[in-house]
Chains A and B, each alone.
Chain A
Amino acid sequence: MNRGGMALIFAVAVLAALGTISLTAFELARLERQAGLGALAEVQARGAAEAALADAMAGWPKSDTPLAAGQETVIIAVALPGPSTGESAVRALGGPVFSIRASGVRSDAAGHPLASVVLEQLVRLDSLAPDSLIHPRKYPLGWRVLP
């Protein structure tokens, strides 16, 4: 009876089972880590967009206001640790209501985007403050996250 052959088959079967289990566990851990990092990157991108929107709501010079329908002017750019960046642009809709679109992007070290968020706030621009800045006024139901 050849016992050496049986031991080899037994050992290979056990190692194959353990290998499969280990690989699956590694894949699960990778997925879990990826999901966690994705959620964190989205929060950071959202933070950058919120910061850019808050800065834009503080006002901008009247000369930066777009006039023609569809015209857009970038009014604020912010950089935050992460690195994440935010940008706000005001867009003329063809009437007295304007749209402020704030985008936030969380990038990796190589500059590739990991997550991005775009927020919109509809505003009216009918208030010119003594500091010569346009101070937007929120339009009702005007805030939303763009798809």
Chain B
Amino acid sequence: MNRRGTSLIEALVALTLTIVVALLAWSILRSAAFRLRDRSERLGMEHSLRAASAASRALLEPLGSDSTAGPDLALPAPNGFVARAVRGSGVLCAAKADSLWVRAGMHWWLELRAPVAGRDSLMIGTVSGPDHWAVTALDAAPAAASCPDGAPALVLPARVPGIDLPAIGAGSPLRVVEPIELLAYASGGAQWLGLRGVSSGGSIQPLAGPFSGVGLAFSYFSRPGTATTLAAAIVQAELVITGLTERASGVGMARAQIQHDSLSAAVLLRNAP
């Protein structure tokens, strides 16, 4: 009997076992890859929801209204709003009709970026008479100077309204503000949340997304709890977002549906009068 080589039955058994093992391995790999893509997509969607909620809260929460400066919130709409965002802050050591001296150095001057003339405005708090904020434009870039007491300062060229000049001076809080638009916009069949500097005329920059077509809506409420779009009356804003995964879960033929998740948040405007 010739035992060299393989019989047909041995070959069939080997082939069958190979196919079974290969199918088993493929099934495990496909399942693992599906779950991995699913987790990855869900993680991305949850990150987008968190980013949209956090950005909206960070912009809305410090807003309010002042008798002279008016409301910080403008153009409240279901798909976004324009808000005064603080870019820098400090404390005055002196004020003249055409310039403001701000104390420089750590613990006095805080800035997210250097003030830019034509883009930023200044809000100056009064230290005598009724409490309010005077608003004026920044006319030129700040320069190094000294306070009357010799401490280091920044001088900000700005024309202070004559009526407010007697009420501001040493100890007046100062803020450098820029109007920022937070807006939901459509792109690629989905909604995205973006930011835009209004005074710089920049284009909108994506911040978070994608969200479903009708899945991002702001609503605004006055103190009695009634819906309003009157900026000065708004004390609370609510945001409802429905996120969706950027890609369907799974790979190859195992693709599943786009997944959804939602988030709602209420933000109290902490400086509302």
Nearest B residue to A142, CB-CB: B271
The answer to whether B93 and A141 have CB atoms under 8 Å apart is no
Known A-B contacts A22-B32, A96-B127; A140 and B39 likewise in contact (beta carbons under 8 Å): no
Known A-B contacts A14-B25, A22-B32; A139 and B125 likewise in contact (beta carbons under 8 Å): yes
The answer to whether B43 and A32 have CB atoms under 8 Å apart is yes
Shortest beta-carbon distance from B64 to chain A in Å? 5
The answer to whether B72 and A35 have CB atoms under 8 Å apart is no
Taking CB atoms, residues of chain B closer than 8 Å to A142 are: 173, 271
The answer to whether A140 and B32 have CB atoms under 8 Å apart is no
Taking CB atoms, residues of chain B closer than 8 Å to A96 are: 127-128, 171
Task: State A147–B128 Cα separation when bound (angstroms).
Answer: 28
Interface size on A, residues (CB 8 A): 34
Task: State A29–B36 Cα separation when bound (angstroms).
Answer: 10
The answer to whether A141 and B66 have CB atoms under 8 Å apart is yes
Whether a CB of chain A sits under 8 angstroms from the CB of B12 is: no
Interface segment, one of B104-112, B194-202, B221-229: B104-112
The answer to whether B133 and A147 have CB atoms under 8 Å apart is no
**Interface code A112-130, partner B: CB below 8 Å = 1, 0 otherwise?**
0000000000101000000
Whether a CB of chain A sits under 8 angstroms from the CB of B205 is: no
Nearest A residue to B54, CB-CB: A39
Known A-B contacts A69-B171, A95-B127; A145 and B61 likewise in contact (beta carbons under 8 Å): yes
A interface SS class: mixed
The answer to whether B50 and A39 have CB atoms under 8 Å apart is yes
Whether a CB of chain A sits under 8 angstroms from the CB of B169 is: yes
Shortest beta-carbon distance from A93 to chain B in Å? 5
Whether a CB of chain B sits under 8 angstroms from the CB of A31 is: yes
Nearest A residue to B270, CB-CB: A143
Contact of B93 among A14, A94, A122 (CB under 8 A): A94
Taking CB atoms, residues of chain B closer than 8 Å to A147 are: 110, 112
Whether a CB of chain A sits under 8 angstroms from the CB of B153 is: no
The answer to whether B86 and A144 have CB atoms under 8 Å apart is yes
The answer to whether A145 and B67 have CB atoms under 8 Å apart is no
Task: State A70–B108 Cα separation when bound (angstroms).
Answer: 8
Which positions 124-143 of chain B face chain A at CB distance < 8 Å?
Answer: 125, 127-128, 131-133
Whether a CB of chain B sits under 8 angstroms from the CB of A146 is: yes
Shortest beta-carbon distance from A88 to chain B in Å? 16
The answer to whether A21 and B172 have CB atoms under 8 Å apart is no
Taking CB atoms, residues of chain A closer than 8 Å to B91 are: 69, 93-94
Task: State A73–B171 Cα separation when bound (angstroms).
Answer: 17
Shortest beta-carbon distance from B23 to chain A in Å? 12
Known A-B contacts A28-B40, A39-B50; A93 and B171 likewise in contact (beta carbons under 8 Å): yes
Task: State A144–B64 Cα separation when bound (angstroms).
Answer: 11
Whether a CB of chain A sits under 8 angstroms from the CB of B248 is: no
The 10 closest A-B pairs by CB, nearest first: A95-B171, A94-B171, A95-B127, A21-B32, A144-B62, A143-B270, A14-B25, A93-B91, A141-B271, A93-B171
* 20 residue pairs A–B, Cβ–Cβ below 8 Å: A10-B22, A14-B29, A21-B36, A22-B32, A25-B39, A29-B39, A35-B46, A35-B47, A39-B50, A69-B170, A96-B127, A97-B171, A124-B131, A140-B273, A141-B123, A141-B133, A142-B173, A143-B64, A144-B86, A147-B112
Chain A contacts to B: CB under 8 angstroms = 3, 10, 14, 17-18, 21-22, 24-25, 28-29, 31-32, 35, 39, 69-70, 93-97, 99, 122, 124, 139-147
Chain B contacts to A: CB under 8 angstroms = 14, 21-22, 25, 28-29, 32-33, 35-36, 39-40, 43, 46-47, 50, 58, 61-62, 64-67, 69, 72, 86, 91, 93, 103, 107-108, 110, 112, 123, 125, 127-128, 131-133, 169-173, 270-271, 273
